[in-house]
Amino acid sequence: MGLHYAKLPRRIYEYHIRYNVNRPKGTSIPVTDIDRMLHPDEARQIVISHSRPLGRERVPLEQAGGRILAEPLVATQSLPPFRASTMDGFAVVHDDPADELVILPGGLAGAVREDPITAGHAARIMTGAPVPEGADAVVPVENTVESAGRVQITQPRVRSGDNIRPVGSDMMEGDRLLDAGVRLSAPDLGLLASLGHATVEVGRRPTVAVFSTGDELVPPDAEPGPGQIRDSNRFSLAHAAQLTGARVVINRHIPDDIDQLREAFTGALEAADVVVTSGGVSMGDRDLVKALLGEVAEVHFRRVFMKPGKPLNFATVGDKLIFGLPGNPVSCLVSFHMFAAPALGVLQGAPPDEYARVPVRVEQPIQPSDRIEYQRARIVAEQDGSLTATTTGSQQSARLQSFIGANGFLVVPPSEEEIPAGSVLEAIPFAPPASR
């Protein structure tokens, strides 16, 4: 569903015309004013442009799960290196005319038979074992009857190649198996091990300092007093950072005190590659993070044309990245996902995450706002392969419950008119689609 200016409120229309928010992909607008509200795509491009890989390190295979591969993986041999059986059974000559075959001795797992199989004979074989010379088929044990050292084949026909994996059927020497920048999964580790890699070169993990700010915050186990709330953001942010592969080295709350904030930032910039804060970046007198960033860092932008998450500060000190996220819990997490998470991936050597968007058909009317909105939604894969989406209820920026059951963001363009059920919108999945 495209953005139609005629349907926008006048002030949003003027904003779009002035700042070309709906510009074609790939074009850019020079940043001349850090307080100018940016399109989310432009803001993300700025973040990525300041995110540089931190280098690489070699780690044991046991520690490589979830890390970013730093070099392509090329097969150094063909697998399997020999013709291998895919069944427990008997290796035979496929057109052997004998009614019963003499079972040759041997056939333990891992054993290699040196004498070839000839007509009238069969060799016991295990799954994965080398097929002996002379044999060109394997008959599963359930299709045989064994008696007194002989075996009778009960299946009606045996064909050449039955139940045999040819040499190189898994991979051929020289095949490019994985590209640099891939996050290593469980099958990837098995692939590395099968090719003899006990260690692997991966991108260095960024270190992250997480701060929640505000006098109104108390620990989760404390009873909030009047005007106080329990601190939740630093726990969800720390885990979200760890899910990207980063290592959280500082995780603490800081009150609204400029001297304590300055001291905390000084220590964080020495200890961490990335600093992530929540709260203190809006327009109030006590929004001290915003003021401090203007003092100690180079601020690149302070506002993004999105909901939730408009007051989002991004700054740098040298190669160190600082994300000043909003204090509302949902705004905080959405902003982290859209901006900090891709930056943490790039620092580890992952390609810039373009947040591949997929078309989804909405199953209920959607109420837009005056900004691009990322509504939490449950995306479902239908039997015909299409995707449908349903929002998770109230989308208020303080309602963390809106993330429960969500596996993606529904990208809702700004408009004054309700989007009817059955319309097609774009979505950004952050987990696999559910099934009907």
User: What CATH number did the domain enclosing 327 receive?
Assistant: 3.40.980.10
- Cβ atoms of 210 and 241 within 8 Å: the answer is yes
Question: How many CB atoms sit inside 10 A of residue 424's CB?
Answer: 13
- Residue 24, preceding bond cis, omega within 30 degrees? no
- The Cα–Cα gap between 396 and 253 comes to 24
Per the structure, the complete domain to which residue 106 belongs is given by 84-165
pLDDT at 22: 42
Are residue 239 and residue 329 in the same domain, yes or no?
yes
> From residue 26, how far is each of 16, 41, 42, 176, 431 by CA, in Å?
17, 10, 9, 30, 26
Are residue 379 and residue 414 in the same domain, yes or no?
yes
Are residue 212 and residue 315 in the same domain, yes or no?
yes
Residue 9 lies in a domain: no
- The Cα–Cα gap between 77 and 170 comes to 11
Residue 283 lies in a domain: yes
pLDDT at 282: 76
State the Cα torsion 95-101-105-107 to the nearest 10°: 50
Are residue 253 and residue 268 in the same domain, yes or no?
yes
Are residue 208 and residue 264 in the same domain, yes or no?
yes
- The Cα–Cα gap between 282 and 278 comes to 11
Residue 5 lies in a domain: no
pLDDT at 284: 63
Q: Of the candidates 292, 324, 347, which is a domain's last residue? A: 347
Are residue 282 and residue 399 in the same domain, yes or no?
no
Are residue 225 and residue 337 in the same domain, yes or no?
yes
Bridge partners (DSSP) of residue 278 are: 212, 325
- The Cα–Cα gap between 314 and 274 comes to 11
φ and ψ at residue 266, rounded to 5 degrees? -60, -45
Residue 227 lies in a domain: yes
Residue 6 lies in a domain: no
- The Cα–Cα gap between 275 and 321 comes to 6
Are residue 239 and residue 330 in the same domain, yes or no?
yes
Are residue 107 and residue 138 in the same domain, yes or no?
yes
Name the pairing type of β-strands 313-317 and 298-301.
antiparallel
Local structure of 266: helix, strand or coil = helix
DSSP state of 337: I
- State which amino acid sits at residue 197: H
Are residue 223 and residue 340 in the same domain, yes or no?
yes
Looking at the structure of the chain, the number of domains it has is 4
Token pair listed for 211: 């701060």
Sequential pLDDT tens for the chain (436 residues): 333 333 444 444 444 444 444 444 444 444 447 889 999 999 999 999 999 999 999 999 999 999 999 999 999 999 999 999 999 999 999 999 999 999 998 766 566 788 899 999 999 999 999 999 999 999 999 999 999 999 999 999 999 999 999 999 999 999 999 999 999 999 999 999 999 999 999 999 999 999 999 999 999 999 999 999 999 999 999 999 999 999 999 999 999 999 999 999 999 999 999 999 999 887 666 689 999 999 999 999 999 999 999 999 999 999 999 999 999 999 999 999 999 999 999 999 999 876 678 999 999 999 999 999 999 999 999 999 999 999 999 888 888 999 999 999 999 999 999 999 999 999 999 999 998 7
Are residue 335 and residue 256 in the same domain, yes or no?
yes
Residue 387 lies in a domain: yes
